[in-house]
Amino acid sequence: MKRITVAELLSSQNFLQDVTVKGWVRTFRANRFIALNDGSTINNIQCVVDFENTDEALLKRVTTGAAIAIKGILIESQGKGQTVEIQVKSLEILGDSNPEEYPIQPKKHSLEFLRENAHLRIRTNTFSAVMRVRSTLSFAIHKYFIENGFYNFHAPIITGSDAEGAGEMFNVTTLNLTNIPKTEEGNVNYSKDFFGKITNLTVSGQLEAETYAMALGKVYTFGPTFRAENSNTTRHLAEFWMIEPEVAFNNLDDNMDLAEDFIKNVISYALQHCKDDLAYLNDRLLDEEKSKPVTERSEMNLLERLKFVIENNFKRVSYTEAIEILQNSTPNKKKKFQYLIKEWGADLQSEHERYLVEKHFKCPIILFDYPAKIKAFYMRLNEDGKTVRAMDVLFPGIGEIVGGSQREERLDVLKQKIKDLNIDEHELWWYLDTRKFGTAEHSGFGLGFERLVQFTTGMGNIRDVIPYPRTPQNAEF
C-alpha cells in the first residue's frame, strides 16, 4: 500500500480506511500512544497500539527518533488534542534509534546545543517549522517575480569583481599554498592560477544583473553570496542567500514601491500557507519572552508583527531627516549609543537603525538619499553633489533587511567615481559598456533572505534560520 503523509491523514475525513504511514517516533506514551512525525507538517499523528497483542520486544524498539512503518485504520480520535488517529494493525521498525545515544530527546534543548547538532536539529518542532517557512518564502519569492514579469537570472558565483567595494571577499584559487608562484616584484603570480587572474566568491550578483536588466528589462537573482566580514553578530553570515531584482527604467521611487510590495507579498504568502508552523513559532516566542524582563518584551506577538508589516505603509525618511532625529534623541544626548551621532555624514550603526524603527517610528522604514561617502560606487549621484540615490529598508528586531539604489547611468559621472575610489576601471570594462551602449535609468536592491526568514519566524539568531550556518571559525557539516 502506498504511504500517505501525516499532513494528508490529518486533513482526511475518509474514516475507516486502511492506511500505511511512515515516519519517526517523537514520543511513545504508556506503551500505547505513538506520536509519529514525517516532516510533512508540524503536527504528529497519534497511532494507538494494541499492546496486549503486540510483541514486547518490538515495542521496546519504539523509541524517540526511530523510523517506523505503520499499517492501520484511520479513525476519528477518541481522545482530546487530535481529530484523527490510527488504530495500529501492524508495526515495523525501519531504523532503530538508541535512546542512550540519540541527542534529540523529547525535552527542551537550548538553541546552542541544537546548533552543535545541526544535522539532527531539523527533527525538532522549532527547526522543522523554520525550515518549512524558509522553503515557502523561497517559493513565494520566485512566484512574486515570475508573476510580475521578471526573469530569473543566475549570476556567476566565482567572479573577478568586488561589487560592493568592501574588499571582504573569499579568494578562489587552486594555487599550491605551500609553494605560491611569485612575480618578479614578489607578488602572488595569479597568471599561474586556474583562471589566470585573481578571483573570489561573489559578494553580490548586482553588477551582472544590471547587464541583464539592460536587455531583459526586469530580472532577479536568488543565489548564495559570500562575505568574509569578521562579524560575530546575530545578523551576519559568511554565506547567505540574497535576492536581487534589477529593473530598467525604474527610478528610486519605483524601487521603493517594488521593495515594499514585494516584502509584503511574500510575508503575506507565508502567513496564508504556513499557519500551523507560524502558530507554533508564535507560541515559542511568547514562551521565550516570559524569561525576559517585562520592559524588554515586545509589544506585539509574532503574528501581530507580521500582520502589522503587511497592513501598514513603510515610512520613507531621508538620511538627513534621520540624522536630525538621532542627534536629538535621548540615547544620543545621554550618551547611551555606543557610536554617538555627531554630524551629518555619520554611518548608521544597527543601534541607530533600531532606534529609528523600534522607538521613534515604530514601523518599518525606508531610509533614502545617503551621503555618497558611505555608499558603494554605483549609486546615482543627486543634484546636491553629496548624496546618492540609495535606500535601505529597516525592520524592527532586524535592522537593515534590504539595501538598494538607483544606479549611476551617466558614463562620465560613473567613471569619475571609479577614479576617485581608486577602483581599476579596466576590471569593470564590461559594466561600463552598459553605460556606453543604450544607457538608461535603472534601479535594484538586495534582500538578505535569512534576515527575511528571521523576521518571519521570530528567530533571534541568523544561525538558526539557515540549515548549516557558515560563520568565522565555523564550517562544520
CB of 445 to ligand 4AD, least distance (A): 5
DSSP string, 382-447: PTTSSEEEEEEEEETTTEEEEEEEEB---HHHHHHHHHHTT--GGGGHHHHHHHHSS---EEEEEE
Query: Which of 448, 455, 457, 458 is in the footprint of ligand 4AD by CB under 6 A?
Result: 448
Closer to ligand 4AD by CB, 21 or 267: give it.
Answer: 267
Applying CB under 5 A, the span of 27-35, 238-246, 396-404, 454-462 interacting with Mg ion comes to 396-404
227 contributes a contact to ligand 4AD by CB under 6 A: yes
DSSP string, 284-330: HHHHHHTTS-GGGS-SS-HHHHHHHHHHSPPEEEEHHHHHHHHHTSH
- As a whole number of angstroms, the distance between CA 468 and CA 133 comes to 16
End-to-end CA, the chain: 36
Closer to Mg ion by CB, 72 or 403: give it.
Answer: 403
399 contributes a contact to Mg ion by CB under 5 A: no
448 contributes a contact to Mg ion by CB under 5 A: no
Number of residues that bind Mg ion (CB under 5 A): 1
Q: Is the separation of the CB atoms in 126 and 475 below 8 Å?
A: no
Closer to ligand 4AD by CB, 12 or 138: give it.
Answer: 138
- As a whole number of angstroms, the distance between CA 387 and CA 378 comes to 13
Applying CB under 6 A, the span of 113-121, 191-199, 343-351, 442-450 interacting with ligand 4AD comes to 442-450
Other Cβ atoms closer than 10 A to 106 = 14
- As a whole number of angstroms, the distance between CA 15 and CA 317 comes to 58
Residues 143 to 172 in contact with ligand 4AD, rule: CB under 6 A: 163-164
- As a whole number of angstroms, the distance between CA 78 and CA 86 comes to 11
Query: Which of 245, 396, 403, 458 is in the footprint of Mg ion by CB under 5 A?
Result: 403
Query: Which of 97, 204, 250, 332 is in the footprint of ligand 4AD by CB under 6 A?
Result: 204
Query: Which of 396, 446, 458, 469 is in the footprint of ligand 4AD by CB under 6 A?
Result: 446
353 contributes a contact to ligand 4AD by CB under 6 A: no
Pull the grid cell for residue 348: 548608521
Q: Which residues bind Mg ion (CB under 5 A)?
A: 403
Q: Which residues bind ligand 4AD (CB under 6 A)?
A: 163-164, 204, 206, 227, 229, 236-237, 240, 242, 244, 400-405, 444-446, 448, 450-451
